[in-house]
Amino acid sequence: MVKFVHMADIHLGNKQYGSEERQMDFAQAFLDAIKFAVEEKVDFILIAGDLFHKKTEMDPVTLLQARKVLEIPKEEGIPVIGVEGNHDSTYFRDSYSWMDYLAVNGLMINLKPSFEDGKLKLEEWNGKSGAYYEFNGIRIYGMKYYGSISERIIEEYFAKMRSSKNTIFMAHIGVEGYVRNMYGCIPSAKIHKLGRKVDYIALGHVHKAFVEKNLVFNPGSLEACDITEIAYERGIFVVDMENDGPKATLKKDFYEPRDFVILKYRVKKGIEGLKGFLSSERKKIKLKNKPVIDLTLDVERSLRNSLEEDKIKELISEYFDPLLIRLHWDVRDHFRPTMLDLSTKESIERSVVEQLLDNYKYGKIAPEVLKLKKLFSTSFDLEMVDRLIDDLLFEREDAKSPQKDSVLAEELKDSVDSVDGIEKLDLGKEMEKSESDIEEEEVWDWRRACDKGGRPRKRKKL
Ligand SMILES: [Mn+2]
């Protein structure tokens, strides 16, 4: 019998609200989860994506946190097997990720497929790369985040995976219906189809725990990455792989998550009323640690200026001893705004969005953003739209990085072209070369560290 722990969405390096303490929280949660797994004497640990919060800017503290924690299972000889999430890598381009870095340093196994002539290949982990890993007869397939083409890639996995007992499929992908933001999610049935070939589907991406038919398992994030996630159930799965299927338990008590208190107060007179409100709210809540206080003040414009933020924060501190305070103002006017007709509304919206994007030098994508906004305004949920826009900006920021030079061009082209159906990037000057000009050459090349299958690079003869 094999025993393992399945976790996901660690988000190391998430300096939430600019707070270093919050960054520590995320690392503490990871440390406690890993320590718990080691104490449980598991055979291996699965991390189903989003180990890190940011795919590019790595800071020394975050890297140290990852290394220090992963050294614990390494010393115990417990393999940590992961896949990259949308926060760990870009899916439209095959670049070296921080999880690759950890893999090269022997701290984890980072599973992903390779592509040859546009065909997906599932190869065994060779110490550097591979799409599956074998442990005592258990085979674990890993699929990194593929965004909008996930459904297609899953089909290819399905076609190529072995069909036998004791098979695990791990991927960073969401199942539709659990959270309002469906970005990166696919219909449940598409995932369940894999059940014909595998016994345990280890997912990550949706920050809320769920289980479907003792087959699909999603543990949720370790910490709340967003105020909307506070009420979600989350944890890590402890799983015994038995002959009649997996026996999984969602564990939550290995770690004490940060407390959040969300308050909304309508200011009627002045600060006096707020005192009473905070005092009575404080009595209602049991706190385990210094909380994040999120207070929205609903106030009429005429009263707004009489309220000083510092005073309010002082009051909150008195009652809650918070880690940090988030104040939001909901300022109302006496008069009702005139109703605008639809086209005026649209043009105002357009100029606001354009201006906003221009501030970040993203003016060019304003039409796309507006399109998205319009698309989603039909099933209207502003928060979901905003998160989508956020994701869009994130991808763009990544694409802007100055790596598109000639050295990487060839490699980039390989990886982009290999997955047909993805929009092809125009990489400019296609190098003219005949077969005879190219020879396989052993060169010391840092890129070989993550070269799939350790194939030698092809180099042009001088
Ligand atoms: Mn995540």
pLDDT tens by residue, 390-435? 666 655 444 444 443 344 444 444 444 444 444 433 433 344 445 5
pLDDT of residue 24: 95
**Residue 349 CA, ligand 1 centroid: distance in Å:** 30
pLDDT of residue 138: 94
What Å distances lie between residue 191 and 139, 160, 234, CA to CA?
18, 15, 21
What Å distances lie between residue 71 and 34, 35, 188, 213, CA to CA?
10, 11, 36, 35
More confident residue, 86 or 238: 238
Structure tokens given for 400: 């802007």
Q: Hunting for tokens 């869009």 — which residue is that?
A: 392
- Range in 100-109, 182-191, 424-433 with the lowest mean pLDDT: 424-433
**Residue 102 CA, ligand 1 centroid: distance in Å:** 19
Mean pLDDT of 245-249: 95
Would you say residue 291 has pLDDT above 80? yes
Phi, psi (degrees; rounded to nearest 5) at 88: -100, -30
**Residue 122 CA, ligand 1 centroid: distance in Å:** 25
* Contact criterion met (CB below 8 Å) for 404 and 398: no
> Could you give all domains of the chain from N- to C-terminal order, each with its CATH number?
2-251 (3.60.21.10), 260-332 (no CATH), 344-400 (no CATH), 432-460 (no CATH)
pLDDT of residue 426: 40
Would you say residue 305 has pLDDT above 90? no
Residue 91: which pLDDT band, with cuts at 50, 70 and 90?
low
pLDDT of residue 386: 61
Mean pLDDT of 277-283: 94
The pLDDT tens digits of the residues spanning 5-52 come to 999 999 999 999 999 999 999 999 999 999 999 999 999 999 999 999
Burial of 305 per CB tally in 10 Å (0-12, 13-18, 19+): exposed
**Residue 15 CA, ligand 1 centroid: distance in Å:** 14
More confident residue, 97 or 74: 74
Mean pLDDT of 49-61: 90
Q: What is the mean pLDDT of the chain?
A: 82
Residue 244: which pLDDT band, with cuts at 50, 70 and 90?
confident
**Residue 37 CA, ligand 1 centroid: distance in Å:** 21
The pLDDT tens digits of the residues spanning 324-373 come to 999 998 888 765 555 666 677 777 777 777 777 776 667 677 777 777 77
Helices (H) and strands (E) in the chain, counts: 12, 21
pLDDT of residue 243: 84
**Residue 9 CA, ligand 1 centroid: distance in Å:** 4
pLDDT of residue 406: 41
Structure tokens given for 209: 């725990």
**Residue 227 CA, ligand 1 centroid: distance in Å:** 14
**Residue 222 CA, ligand 1 centroid: distance in Å:** 10
**Residue 86 CA, ligand 1 centroid: distance in Å:** 7
Would you say residue 282 has pLDDT above 80? yes
* Contact criterion met (CB below 8 Å) for 2 and 241: yes
- Range in 108-112, 305-309, 433-437 with the lowest mean pLDDT: 433-437
Q: What percent of the chain has pLDDT over 90?
A: 55
Burial of 402 per CB tally in 10 Å (0-12, 13-18, 19+): exposed
**Residues 6 or more apart in contact with residue 332 via CB below 8 angstroms:** 298, 299, 300, 301
Q: What would the DSSP string read from start to end of 146-206?
A: -GGGHHHHHHHHHHHS--SSSEEEEEE-EETTSSS--TTEE-HHHHHGGGGT-SEEEEESS
What Å distances lie between residue 241 and 79, 211, 244, 376, 421, CA to CA?
16, 16, 8, 41, 37
**Residue 189 CA, ligand 1 centroid: distance in Å:** 22
**Residue 225 CA, ligand 1 centroid: distance in Å:** 8
**Residue 316 CA, ligand 1 centroid: distance in Å:** 31
Instruction: Indicate the DSSP class of residue 297.
Output: E
Q: What percent of the chain has pLDDT over 70?
A: 77
**Residue 462 CA, ligand 1 centroid: distance in Å:** 46
Phi, psi (degrees; rounded to nearest 5) at 80: -110, 120
**Residue 56 CA, ligand 1 centroid: distance in Å:** 15
**Residue 204 CA, ligand 1 centroid: distance in Å:** 7
